[in-house]
Structure 1
Amino acid sequence: MSHQLLISLAWLTLATALPIQGQTWDATRQASGWAFQEVDGSLVFFDRTAQSLRTWTKESGLITSLPVSLPHIRKPSQIERPAASPATKVASDYDAAGAMLYGTAPAQRIQPPPSATTEGTTMRTFAPERWILDAYDRIWMACGDRLVILGKDGKPESTHALPALVEDMATGKDGILLLYRTIKPYLEKRDLRTGAVIWSFGDRNQAKDALAQPLLVPLNHMALGLDGTVYIAEGASLAFTTLDPAKGPREAGQTFFTCREAIPARAALGRVGRGPMLSWPGKDIIFSVFTPNQVKACGAPESQGLLLARFDLTRGTLEWITTPLAEGHRLVGLLDTEAIFLAPNGGLAFAPIH
């Protein structure tokens, strides 16, 4: 083989091994998991492969990338032992409450392996499930039963224990709001400086059961109004519980909506639970997602895809918007004329809104 041919092959191998010049992370193809929407409409995704936060807009694509350093924790290692005899699961009060309120079957909860025993410890890296940025550009990440606060450089500042898994996070005027994945709504407002609980709403005692047997689907959601009012959607209800961001549970109220001049019936959540709920940036409007079967009795039109419930907080009205998107798409953002969804297999999908 000639010397010139060897050089040519070497250059070819090197060229194919290097990334294409200018190639960047693309949310429309690679986004997954969850997203936080900033007030300017940009979306912040977490890239697990690169351990980085990716800020993206539809107009400009990838804006910034911030590598984050997540701490490690020691967790007991689980070594499976053969069970002595099959045990019949006894329904707990937690299961009974779920069945009574929402028809939630025990199968919708993650069951711990009955034959596992604890021996030794292993190191585990925190895996973020929810994240937001506060007014100081610090990052708050909910990682299982831990809240990790990172500085603007992506380095950890502090870690706090959480009572249960987090379903929704929001940035208030003077604190961070956490809604947990529990049967009945349980919400905490935490101090921006220390991460300590300022006030809470709901029964905290249920959090222990919710952490031991996590729900596979959410039943409650939270979103904020333009003035910072906290709106909580509980279970199948199409009304919202309202909380003053400063007073918390001391002056809880209710907001009801009319659809075609009538109060809509409750939804039928079923096996998929309640879909995501988001505030429309710059508008006093909240969107929530339902499947067609969930809202047949709620005045919703026929639809082949998911339905968006448009709650106008000023007028007190509910309007339904059909989409072409199938079940499994997750609402993560709202633009001026489009809703942004994460596709089931990664990437983004869009649906028109007004």
Structure 2
Amino acid sequence: MRVLAAMSGGVDSAVAAARAAEAGHDVTGVHLALSRNPQTYRSGARGCCTLEDSRDARRAADVIGIPFYVWDMADRFHADVVDDFVAEYAAGRTPNPCLRCNEKIKFAAVLDRAVALGFDAVVTGHHARLGPDGLLRRSVDLPKDQSYVLAVLTREQLDRSIFPLGNSTKAEVRAEAARRGLGVADKPDSHDICFIADGDTRRFLAERLGEAPGDVVDATTGAVIGAHSGAYGYTVGQRRGLRLETPAPDGRPRYVLSITPKTNTVTVGPAEALEAAEVTAVRPVWTGGPAPEAPLECQVQLRAHGEVVPATVRLDGGELRAELHRPVRGVAPGQAIVAYRPDPAGDVVLGSATITG
């Protein structure tokens, strides 16, 4: 097959491209330039949007012996990922920018362009598997598994995707990179959000949304017990940085329970008030087979690297409802709910949706 290898400049994508070439595919490497000004996004080896990363990707392509290009997708990335991130926080939700980048950039904009140029598929270094049946599965390296952030992909996108690393651990990938003479073998993994240079999300949002003072309210009494400079700086389940002026009568810590942009209010309360027994979500994507017509017993994950719980899932028009078999704390609107097949391994992705409540 003629395939396009998305090369971020990290070790995973480099080894994925090398494996694709070794498997006999006609591979072309491409690095996505996602920052309008590379120095404004994370600098150094931890990011995925830097000049250093572009150079690392080019050097890896040279070692592998494949053609290499840089595609400028900065404007598309800013509109679909960065602006969306800011808008979601302004609306009181907690988005996952990696999920949105996969959905809008790597497997929409890139894949569409690749197909238009005559490529058959896109290769990435994600830690996930596609079985012989075409179903998306967890990686064998569970701590590195990325099936959660890929579950938003459609069946058609998965049919044109190749994930060569799903059957390997990260340690095995690094060892292979060293054997192949790839200079990124020991390059650190990227962390945090690639487009927030110093990792300070609250500052990043404040610069774009401005100061917006409001009240912090106790859920039990309705009393104002603190103030904030912008509700966008909080997320459901947060404990630290609440700056409460009045301690709880029972002396126990308080957590963010909800964010209401309409009244610019942050509501806090005890940990047990975070427990959710039912989750609603919209924009369901069902890739593990036909959409279920009857209630489905499955396992669900509600946050990247979060716990997995058994649930009963129903589809009601354009909405998904999940009854959790045991309560989960800190479910945040804006995150994804991903359903997995309820077999002993629980590794097959059935579908996903965006949590609304």
TM-score, structure 1 as length reference:
0.26
Q: Which has the higher contact order (CA 8 A, sep 6+)?
A: 2
* Structure (1 or 2) with the larger CA radius of gyration: 1
TM-score, structure 2 as length reference:
0.25
